[in-house]
Amino acid sequence: TLDYGSDFYTWLSDNSYSDLAAIKGWGGGDTVCSSISKTPVIFIHGNGENSDVYESMRDRFIAEGGYTNCELYAITYIGEDATNNYLNGDNAAWIRQFILAVKAYTGSDKVDIIAWSLGVPMSRLAIKGGTAYTDSAGTVPCDMGDSIDSSIRSFVGLAGASYGSPVCGFYGMGDPMSPLCEANGLSVNNPTLVEINGGEMGSATNPAPGDNAYSIVSTDDGIACDDDTDPNDDYLDTSN
């Protein structure tokens, strides 16, 4: 199990980010991070997971990429019950605040984001700002504030259900099987995802986040992408 470095934890607690300090995550130094040579990377996990899922990737970034603890971060933003998570504005706000906290702590103008599965639309919601919803039905709004897109250098989406998941089906067709599949979850083309994307699947107009955006997909992914379909129809469209 990974934890925040003691200096980062103290910094969060002393700089109006005490709510983040209380949430599981990792990154930052045990002593002051005085030398940052790389753009900090923030890892955002998927549904039913926590920040520890990225431990092996973190180790590879250090061993093979020359990164330090001061340049690698992750936060646990949802519970580990895969059926009861959705695009909760309160959780997106934690991601948003974590991005701003890492920037302030490291002194970096921008960060890189590597997000997986549910973490892709959650991160896009956090970055986009505007109206989000704190309930699975999408009836209780909250204001996320202005866009923080200028804070993102590169955004990498790993198997990201940016338009929803076929496991949930299309929005409005049948009763949702869980909160994850309701109007503020991963039902395909639901109102929240349409707002994030600026349109329905195949007609989205909103740009991908950051200066650079990448999508890593597999046509054999039965959770986020139907077999025999164009993966760009189900994932983050980096051409926008």
pLDDT tens across 217-232, in order?
877 766 655 444 444 4
| Distance set, CA 41 to CA 35, 71, 72, 155, 189 (Å) | 15, 6, 5, 10, 29
- pTM: predicted TM-score of the whole model, two decimal places: 0.92
Which helix (H) or strand (E) element contains residue 155?
Answer: strand 152-158
pLDDT category, 237, cuts 50, 70, 90? very low
Q: Residue 224's pLDDT is what?
A: 59
Question: In whole angstroms, how far apart are CA 88 and each of 16, 140, 190?
Answer: 22, 10, 14
Which one-letter DSSP state was computed for residue 119? H
pLDDT in tens, 72-121: 999 999 977 777 899 999 999 999 999 999 999 999 999 999 999 999 99
